[in-house]
Chain A
């Protein structure tokens, strides 16, 4: 599996007075097994970008290759692309519609041509994978809590057995425990099921603990692209575009200024704690 974006541009409302260049010359590659964080403030183009990955929006110019095939080629099967690149939108309320959870999760697999029986197996496995308690399988999706709805929404996409899972702000509106549960689930899908993950977020702290790679977007362009350590090293640059490094990075810098020999590239809490304990006399 690989996705390559080659000089992708996208312009909203072309030819009118509110013409906006939402994506500006985007090129990068997503490799099999990646865990990518896509960061940017509202309006930076990150949501527009992910909608290109499964062909919901068509680039104004440029190419996207999935496993070496150009998805804009005539006769390319976009439906099969959408089953391979699963996109979970921010609000589960936008996709839940069936009378019970199980039927709702069957919707995706049935659309891509699975038989009733196959779809049910896929749905059952997906609901198990997102750890939804079995007693909730046959209740109305509208009666679930926010966190449960989000699980069902993820299961609805997982049931199509995607190779890549793109999650747009999966933790918005959840309380801290709900957030940790969903992010933990996403990590597990990556580690155990081997699914490539693209996590769209504006929270650096959320992302720093989980992802291997960060792409920072600003004004439709890729502003930075690197490991969390590389990206957070440029904290002041991030602040200029309305973002920030995780709080611990700033603490490490302040301690370094105060003379302690701490690791200023620490981005997660445990790294920071290790580094501080190594730098002070107890």
Chain B
């Protein structure tokens, strides 16, 4: 069953001059149709300005479509009655961890969502404990977020969403401001939530290494979905990706280069080092 669906979704940003008069519209998302099944790990790729973040904000009912509509668990996001229900079902993690942590102690921040939902005190504590343990941040529950690393802060932010018991988590470039080890932490956490807890994950990113394990990838450019498929299918279309300001993992690029230069028996869209080494061993003997 689809947890998130968009139907002919379009969104215009209103441009204003200094006096606040409307001077025109900029189309940020144009006629997007996509459907995400429960339990999937979805990646949305796109360069800067491709409209991927605008799309994400629609799923959480922060933005409303100019045209078309978005369904979360069968409910329209544009209907005011559903808004809190939708925000609870489809939680959102943002790019900058400093700007989304509200509490000054880790556990208080994680409890913020459940408090807003009106959950009884005892249950809030249970949810906070469960969420922090799932994200491996339980031992930091009494810490000030200021003293945590970027990756840890981002895991606290994810725990804050997990404590609301969402069915789906949208992560809007959660790794863009992190260093490589923080990035790995966050992606590992996202995959674990998907594998173990069965939470649907929609990961928005421009780091290609992060989407290798996704069930399905949508590639956006200029507000439209330009490509979709499994990571393997997407990564075998290097030239198209480059047009969309994107890249492929270094392994995939090496395989592509080798293929262009004569090793034609290599398959397309190689994703990992092992695959490449195996493929070479299988098809080419030692000179």
Contact = CB atoms under 8 A, between A and B. Distances in A.
Whether A and B touch directly in their complex, counting CB atoms under 8 A apart, is answered as: yes
Interface of A: 41-43, 145-147, 172-178, 180, 202-203, 205, 242-244, 246-248, 250-251, 254-255, 258-261, 269-270, 272-273, 276-282
Interface string B86-123: 00000000000000000000000000000000000000
B286 A261 contact: yes
A251 B284 contact: no
A198 to B, nearest CB: 18
B245 A175 contact: yes
Given A176-B206, A260-B286, A282-B262, A273 B280 contact: no
A177 B244 CA distance: 9
B251 interface: yes
Contacts of A203: 180
B254 A251 contact: yes
Contacts of A248: 250-251, 254
Nearest to B251: A247
A280 B149 contact: no
Interface of B: 46-49, 149-150, 176-177, 179-182, 206, 208, 242, 245-247, 249-251, 253-254, 257-258, 261-263, 273-274, 276-277, 280-281, 284-287
Contacts of A146: 48
Contact of B277 (A173, A180, A246, A255): A255
A174 B274 CA distance: 29
Max chain A Cβ within 10 angstroms of own Cβ: one of B177, B251, B284: B284
Contacts of B179: 41-42, 202
A129 B135 CA distance: 46
A183 B47 CA distance: 17
Give the 5 A-B CB pairs with smallest separation, nearest first. Answer: A176-B247, A177-B245, A280-B284, A175-B47, A247-B250
A258 B281 contact: yes
A14 to B, nearest CB: 19
A247 B262 CA distance: 22
Nearest to A146: B48
Given A202-B180, A203-B180, A281-B286, A175 B48 contact: yes
Contacts of B177: 172-173
B24 to A, nearest CB: 14
Nearest to A246: B250
A282 B286 contact: no
Nearest to A203: B180
Contacts of B250: 205, 246-248, 269
B150 A175 contact: no
A247 B249 contact: yes
A270 B250 CA distance: 11
Contacts of B48: 145-147, 174-175, 178
A175 B263 contact: no
B287 A269 contact: no
Contacts of B261: 273, 277
Contact of B180 (A41, A270, A276): A41
Contacts of A282: 262-263, 284
Contact of A258 (B258, B263, B277): B277
A242 B151 CA distance: 14
Contacts of A260: 280, 286
A281 B287 contact: yes
B280 A255 contact: yes
Contacts of B274: 254
B243 to A, nearest CB: 10
A117 to B, nearest CB: 30
B277 A261 contact: no
B47 A273 contact: no
Given A42-B149, A269-B257, A178 B284 contact: no
A175 B45 CA distance: 10
Contacts of A42: 149-150, 179, 181-182
Contacts of B246: 175-177
A227 to B, nearest CB: 20
A248 B257 CA distance: 12
